[in-house]
Amino acid sequence: MTSDIDNLFDIIIVGAGAVGCAVARELSRYNLKIAVLEKESDVAAGTSGRNSAVVHAGFNNKPGSLMAKLCVEGNEGFESICRELDVPYKKTGKLIVAFEESDFAGIDRLIENGRKNGVKGLEFVDAGVVKRLEPHVGGIGAMLSPNTAITNPFIYTVALAENAAVNGAVFYFNTEVRGISRQDRLFRVRAGDTFFRGRYIVNSAGLYSDRISSMAGEKGYKVYPCRGEYFILDKRTSQYLNMPVYPVPRPGLGGLGVHLTPTVEGNILIGPSAEYIKTKCDYSSTKKVMDRLFKEARELLPPLSMRHIIRSYTGIRSKLVGPKTGGFGDFVIEESEAVPGLINLVGIESPGLTSSVPISRMVRDIIANREDITPKSSFISVRKGIVPFRELTIEQKEELIKEYPDYGEVVCRCEGITKKEVLDAINNPLGVATLSGIKYRARPMMGRCQGGYCLTRIVDILNNEKGLPPEEITLRGKESKLFTGKVK
Amino acid sequence: MLIKKDIIIVGAGPAGLAAAIEAKKRGRDGILVLERELSAGGILNQCIHDGFGLIRFNEALTGPEYARRYIDEAKALGIEIVTNVMVQDISRDKTVTAVSPDGIKTYKAEAVILAMGCRERTRGAICIPGTRPSGVFTAGVAQNLVNLKNIMVGKRIVILGSGDIGLIMARRLTLEGAKVLAVVEKLPYSSGLQRNITQCLDDFEIPLLLSHTVTKIEGHERVKGVTIARVDEKGNSIRGTSRKFECDTLILSVGLIPENEVSLNAGIVIDETTGGARVDENLQTSVPGIFACGNVLQVHDLVDYVSAEGEQAAKAAVEFIKGRGEAASDITVRAGSGIRYVLPQSISSGRDITFSMRVTNPCKNKTIIFKDGDTVLKKRTFKALNPAEMVRIDLKAGELRGVLNMEVFIDG
């Protein structure tokens, strides 16, 4: 066990989701010593990696709320952050489609709501325009939101984390916070098998932010887990959908309704459902919801077939409003009055991904209001990701193979991922060595065969190039070992 | 730079190897076989059990032994097989683009033979509810890990699906010390060969639970258990029949899908039922000069027929290059009652044709009938018909004379 004298930080961030990593990156611009404690084996292991991957415009949120303000701000800045950090981003626009006359009132309400929030470009479009924008979607009219975009939330979080790490933030994975006490005006955090001391705690623990706050001495928050289930469809379906398509929302819903979203890679996502659940770690898909999701998706987009499904996944919203109230609460972004130095980020559900950078700036301002923080001249603002070989021209591909022959070895057939990309993912700057870590960074195993072709190859690469024996490979850390040993 | 070839064969598994050898024997020299693995042989390399070649060689060979015969013959004939190369694109004009650590090469072929094989259906595709922990494998992946990499995939195992690979793996994993708790099959009959049920399950007292399916997977990190339930005729689980198996591994043998993604790029028409290309009696696809054989065309039960189909495709490709074999195949062949599919989907009259098909349900003492309108062309009665087995029936040119529109069905 290391002494916690060694683990002395200015800032201890709890939770390496999109928000925690955005805060780490923002604060790494300054002369501050930063630790990020994450209970899972990688970033974006919770809600940040399990959502619709939409950069929202902010028309759906309550005027005057933090959600509305930060979402609009986040949407405006998202593209430039993605450019800076080499993150996939596509401004697709979005349609909220009316299927019956009574939906028009809902559209009017959204346009008005969006206007109040300062969302630009919202307009009603008639069935003809809907047909032109989305030929396969029915509907009698829609609201078009031109500034809605899609991204890859996992790569986004990885990029923020990697950039923060390059600028000095230290990431501790498999390090679950178990207790927080105060000692000499410092927080003493028991986490994993060691202690950390810090002047500030930034509580970005998502679903568990109520527990962390309570550990630090500020009780009274309750986070309600609300599960959403999804399907991912084969890229072959990309021809059917150009932008996120949502039905007009019904009041009282704890989500945005089952919708269809294209991914930056060309899949379609169906989902999410919204179901309050008892435990915060139950990521099960259920037969009941699976059946319903597909049925509703096909009502929006008739050409879809069960044959197109390649995987299901679930995410869990961390909501401050319980099942009785329903709807949305608001983000809590504030320093605790009871526990100075504890900065609570609680109830960060959708649009948390979109708002993550504005949230991080608010955290910076909270700290800057208490003390002078000085920018580091050495701050590096850009980050390069893994080169997506499949997207290059033939000439560029040939150049790269000459330089690195590993680009010429296709490891993942479905997604066209090369050995070089897999190696780059294995050698990631955060030192994550799980199968999921490789999958989400470079995309092998994400295609229609779900690793049927490439899993055995990746096992070989891990063994041969990283010296990681097969029996030590895990899916996502802890007890998630892939294999049980050697044959007799 | 465009490299010219007579025939490009995509895939050096049993279909591709047989095709290459046959084309060479028929006098073609510019044959190139492109293989994505590091060595030729295809899926046979991981099939270390025996039973291959009973029809062709009258011997029970292992998969690697069966493959070796073809690899050796191809080598002896001087056929060029390039490994560790991935075909990225095939165009309608038979331009083939392939990438390897040596770079990207573009070939122009007179004829292309597709022999890419198939892939396994996954957990995601069949929508099993529950969590997504480690410990869920498709049977082929498990077979690869166990047989080629000496990796053990689990200790207490449930197998869903009674396809042949699943049955073979039930035995293999048992021999390696794992406890296979059950093989669970959604249908009321097994989708594997009877000989495999006897030799792989019965001999090891592994229960085969027909009309059952896995309704839930549990475990956050590694699989902790699966719930199974009986299903009704529609495949829906029946309330009150659930029971839980504590296990650390779930293996899926739930179907094979011809791997036709590059074929789609070429604009080849795919049959909705087989998942393979629609072909005529020359095994020619909807794109002239592109042929298909083996599991990329239809999922076979026995490798012996895969080899035969490879040879048939090669013969047709050679004829195509010579400028023959151009007879219009405009007579459609339709799978009627009791028949899931029949190949070829279109024919011309005037030559002998072997039809291959699968039935939809197991049945006994039934007759398969080939009919053109009201005219019966051929009848063949079988003691037993089983969806697990491919049925092959030869029709002579004489029997097909004057046919306009053909239907194949089971009487009664």
Q: Is residue B309 less than 8 Å (CB to CB) from chain A?
A: no
Integer Cα distance of A196 and A35 in angstroms: 9
Minimum-distance CB partner of A410 among B99, B150, B222? B99
- Tens digit of pLDDT for each residue in A86-95? 999 999 999 9
Q: Do B134 and A480 touch (CB under 8 A)?
A: yes
Q: Which residues of A are less than 8 Å from B86 in CB distance?
A: 410, 413
> Between A and B, how many CB-CB pairs are < 8 A?
140
Q: Which CATH superfamily is domain A1-89+150-222+323-385 in?
A: FAD/NAD(P)-binding domain (3.50.50.60)
**The CATH number of domain A389-472, selected from 1.10.3720.10, 2.40.50.140, 1.10.1060.10, 1.10.10.1100:** 1.10.10.1100
Mean pLDDT of A218-241: 96
The arithmetic mean of pLDDT across residues A22-51, rounded, is 98
How does pLDDT run across B243-275, given as a tens digit for each residue?
999 999 999 999 999 999 999 989 999 999 999
CATH 3.50.50.60 fits B122-254, yes or no: yes
CA distance A315 to chain B (A): 12
- A1-89+150-222+323-385 against A389-472: fold identical: no
Is residue B258 less than 8 Å (CB to CB) from chain A? no
Q: Do A285 and B129 touch (CB under 8 A)?
A: yes
Query: For chain B, which residues make up each domain, given as ranges?
Result: 1-120+255-326, 122-254, 327-412
* Chain A CB within 8 Å of residue B210 CB: no
Catalytically active residues of A, by annotation: 56
In the predicted model, what is the mean pLDDT of chain A? 95
Mean pLDDT, residues A146-157 taken together: 98
Is the ipTM higher than 0.90? The answer is yes
What would the pLDDT profile of A95-129 be if each residue is shown by its tens digit? 999 989 999 999 999 999 999 999 999 999 999 99
pLDDT interval class at A183 (50, 70, 90): confident
Question: A261: closest CA among A111, A454, A399, A54?
Answer: A54
User: Would you tell me which residues 38-97 of chain A have a C-beta closer than 8 angstroms to some C-beta of chain B?
Assistant: none
* Set of chain A residues whose Cβ sits within 8 Å of the Cβ of B259: 413
| CB-CB under 8 Å, A484 with B261 | no
Could you say which architecture CATH assigns to the domain B1-120+255-326? 3-Layer(bba) Sandwich (3.50)
Sheet harboring B225-230: ordered strands across?
B212-218, B225-230, B243-246
Burial B203-226 (b: 16+ CB within 10 A, else e): eeebebbebbbbbbbbbbbbbbbb
Interchain contact B39–A (C-beta under 8 A): no
Question: How far from each other are the two terminal CA atoms of chain A, in whole angstroms?
Answer: 37
- The partner residue sitting opposite A281, judged by closest CB among B86, B104, B220, is B220
Domains of chain A, residue spans: 1-89+150-222+323-385, 90-149+224-319, 389-472
Helix, strand or coil, per DSSP, at residue A57: coil
Cβ contact, residue pair B177, A488, below 8 Å: yes
Q: Thinking of the domain A90-149+224-319, which architecture would CATH place it in? A: 2-Layer Sandwich (3.30)
**Can you give the pTM of this predicted structure?**
0.96
Backbone Cα Rg of chain A: 22
* C-beta atoms of A483 and B151 within 8 A: yes
Measured in angstroms, the CA of A404 and the nearest CA of chain B are apart by 8
Contact B124 A401 (CB under 8 A): no
Angle A31-A33-A37 (CA atoms, 0-180°, nearest 5)?
145
DSSP 8-state code for residue A420: H
Give the fold, CATH level 3, of B327-412: Immunoglobulin-like (2.60.40)
Amino acid A399: pLDDT? 97
Question: Tens of pLDDT along chain B (412 residues)?
Answer: 799 999 999 999 999 999 999 999 999 999 999 999 999 999 999 999 999 999 999 999 999 999 999 999 999 999 999 999 999 999 999 999 999 999 999 999 999 999 999 999 999 999 999 999 999 999 999 999 999 999 999 999 999 999 999 999 999 999 999 999 999 999 999 989 899 999 999 999 999 999 999 999 999 999 999 999 999 999 999 999 999 999 999 999 999 999 999 999 899 999 999 999 999 999 999 999 999 999 999 999 999 999 999 999 999 999 999 986 566 788 999 999 999 999 999 998 888 999 999 999 999 999 999 999 999 999 999 999 999 999 999 999 999 988 999 999 998 7
H-helix or E-strand containing A275? strand A275-276
Instruction: Write the residue in A310, A406, A485 that is nearest to B124 by C-beta.
Output: A310
Q: Which residues in chain B have Cβ-Cβ distances shorter than 8 Å to A414?
A: 261
pLDDT given for residue A249 in this prediction: 80
Residue numbers in B near A405 (CB within 8 A): 101-102
What's the whole-number mean pLDDT along residues A447-466?
Answer: 95
**Do B122-254 and B1-120+255-326 have the same topology in CATH?**
yes
Answer whether residue A5 shows pLDDT above 70.
no
A385 touches chain B (CB under 8 A): no
Do β-strands B331-335 and B405-410 pair in parallel, antiparallel, or remain unpaired?
Answer: parallel
- Among all residues of chain A, which has the CA nearest to that of B105? A398
What is the per-residue pLDDT across A238-270, written as a single tens digit (0 to 9) for each? 999 999 999 998 665 555 668 999 999 999 999
